[in-house]
Amino acid sequence: MEKQNKIPFSDALLQQACKESSVADLSCATIGETVLVAQWLEKETGEPFIRMDQGSPGLPANVYGLQAEKEALDTGIASQYPAAGGIQELKEAGSEFIKAFINVNITPRSIIPTTGSVAASFGSFIGCCQRIPGKNKVLFLDPGFPIQKSQLRIMGLEWKSFDIAPYRGAALKARIEEELKDGTVAAMIYSNPNNPAWTCLEEEELKGIGELATKYDVVIMEDLAYFCMDYRKDLSQPYKAPFLPTVARYTDKYILMLSSSKIFSYAGQRIALCAISDKLFETKYEALAQRYHDAGIFGQTLCASILYMITSGCTSTTQIGYARMLQLSCQGKINFVEDTREYERRAEAMKSCFKKNGFHISYDKDVTAEVGNGFFYTIGYKNMSGEELVVELIRYGISSISLGTTGAKRPGIRACVSRFKMEQLPLLEARLAQFAADHNK
């Protein structure tokens, strides 16, 4: 086709892009669908895109992990299946890392490597929702990661959810209790910092969540994909306060999910830790014993009878690479917080550019402070819905996803900084200026 070097893209071209990419409705497209449309437009027109859609790391993979994997391959380890519960070196490193940066004790036995946090949540949803008859729903503290609800759809499980923005601080505990009173909730999940809003639950809120979890026997699944990436305070020093805020201080039945993807830019290797509290790991559930014909011990069932059926364990060398990075972080030889601080700089520059051109931050406040700068942020424009704004921005060569797909109630889009390069700032400024001019006529 003839190249079109003009922004904004015409409606006809946008429709063709959706047709060629098999996307039925761009306004509510998934992350993957948005990527396909942006890639098609970029290829067919020659116009570079400002990619804010997919949360894939934009920094080089940690060299210590890569080197450890290369060394491991030379030992002949590739010919042997990894143990279902993980390589002991990684289990011990994970336990020490959690102690160093969260100041919580979890024994190595209770730490299970998984092929990314997506596998950890998938298996954990199954185990949590099968452990007690009648407790088979998941409560989402939205906005959140859309894939986790997609996982429940695959399993045929139900969920509850609400946008926590109007209920921050003391009000959050009471609002959550409304959802737990009927006794059907088996697990509660959230990310901290939050994907997509980058808001952070504070210590008092986590205390309330933990108290409710104990009262109603709910397992808290804490997704720590952006571990210690709240750059407003220094969380980079092992074994020194301040430590990462966590519900693990306030309840004894929880699962922490620690991915290597963002903090070590190790996404392509698909490795994470499913860190189960020792109390939950050791609890016996008769329903699990009957279903799986095993002892019904939660941690053992999750590891051997559920997670192993999904991925058959994690690649041995990848486990060794992750272990090395965790060990060096505990020793202070890797400062992964400083390594990822580039995301903070990008977010600050991009948000400033958006605000200068009439946009606003949709989720702009935590309880006591403005939301920080990091991997994600949220953007709104006047009275446009998120669905409308996604379509309008992609016409100007800027790709994103609607906040509506994340369970958010505030209108707007999710923007990810990882694929943005600072040298693209003049291009972003020019496109947003044109967008503002076109929409202020």
CA distance linking residue 18 with residue 95, whole number of Å: 47
Q: How many CA atoms lie within 13 A of 98 on its CB side?
A: 27
Q: Do the beta carbons of residue 295 and residue 164 sit within 8 Å?
A: no
Cα angle, residue 414 at apex, residues 409 and 417 outer, rounded to 5°: 155
Structure tokens at 148: 């986790």
In a domain, 283, yes or no: yes
Q: Are 277 and 381 within one domain?
A: no
Encode 96-131: b = buried (16+ Cβ within 10 Å), e = exposed. Answer: bbbbbbbbbebebbbbbbbbbbbbbbbbbbbbbbbb
CATH number of the domain enclosing 359? 3.90.1150.100
Cβ neighbour number for residue 289 with a 10 Å cutoff: 14
Tell me the backbone φ, ψ of residue 318, rounded to 5 degrees: -65, -40
Q: What token pair was written down for 371?
A: 């939301």
- Tell whether 105 and 37 lie within a shared domain: no
- Where are the extended beta strands (E) located within 217-307? 219-223, 254-259, 272-276
- Domain of 175, CATH number, reads 3.40.640.10
Question: Is there a domain that residue 73 lies in?
Answer: no
Question: What was the pLDDT predicted at 55?
Answer: 87
Confirm whether 70 is domain-assigned: no
Query: What is the per-residue DSSP string for 8-37?
Result: SPPHHHHHHHHHHTT-S-GGG--HHHHHHH
Q: Is residue 293 one of the residues assigned to a domain?
A: yes
Same domain, 139 and 231: yes
- Residue 68 is assigned to a structural domain of this protein: no
Helix, coil or strand: residue 143: coil
pLDDT for position 3: 46
The pLDDT value recorded for residue 28 is 83
Question: Do 249 and 144 belong together in one domain?
Answer: yes
Same domain, yes or no: 311 and 370 = no
Residue type, 363: Y
Domain end marker among 310, 330, 350: 330
Contact between 311 and 156 under an 8 Å Cβ cutoff? The reply is: no
Q: For residue 186, what are its two tokens?
A: 């088996």
Closest CA to 87 of 404, 287, 385, 313: 313
* Boundary of a domain, candidates 264, 295, 330: 330
> Do both 315 and 362 map to the same domain?
no
Number of domains in the chain: 2
Does 276 map to a domain? yes
pLDDT in tens, the chain (441 residues): 444 457 889 889 989 999 999 998 888 888 889 889 999 999 999 999 999 998 899 999 999 999 999 999 999 999 999 999 999 999 999 999 999 999 999 999 999 999 999 999 999 999 999 999 999 999 999 999 999 999 999 999 999 999 999 999 999 999 999 999 999 999 999 999 999 999 999 999 999 999 999 999 999 999 999 999 999 999 999 999 999 999 999 999 999 999 999 999 999 999 999 999 999 999 999 999 999 999 999 999 999 999 999 999 999 999 999 999 999 999 999 999 999 999 999 999 999 999 999 999 999 999 989 999 999 999 999 999 999 999 999 999 999 999 999 999 999 999 999 999 999 999 999 999 999 999 987
> Measured between alpha carbons, how far is residue 327 from residues 68, 87, 362, 376 in Å?
12, 14, 38, 28
- Domain boundary (330, 355, 386) is at 330
Give yes or no: residues 240 and 318 share one domain.
Answer: yes
Distances (CA, A) of 123 to 148, 262, 301, 435: 11, 21, 10, 44
Are 189 and 300 in a shared domain? yes
Q: How many angstroms separate the CA atoms of 210 and 250, rounded? A: 5
The answer to whether 112 and 86 have CB atoms below 8 angstroms apart is yes
For residue 293, the 8-state DSSP code is: T
Q: Does one domain contain both 326 and 352? A: no
Residue 313 has what pLDDT?
Answer: 94
Residue 408: count other Cβ atoms within 10 Å of its Cβ. 23
Q: Are residues 135 and 284 in the same domain?
A: yes
Q: How many residues are recorded in the chain?
A: 441
Instruction: Tell me the C-alpha distance between 150 and 139, whole Å.
Output: 14
353 is a domain residue: yes
CA distance 364 to 379: 9
CA 171, CA 88: separation in Å to the nearest integer? 42
**Inside any domain, residue 72:** no
In terms of domains, do 162 and 307 share one? yes
Strand order in the sheet with 413-416: 359-361, 376-381, 413-416, 401-402
Regarding whether 90 and 170 lie in a shared domain, the answer is yes
Helices 117-130, 146-155: inter-axial angle, 10-degree rounding: 50
| Containing structural domain, residue 148 | 81-330
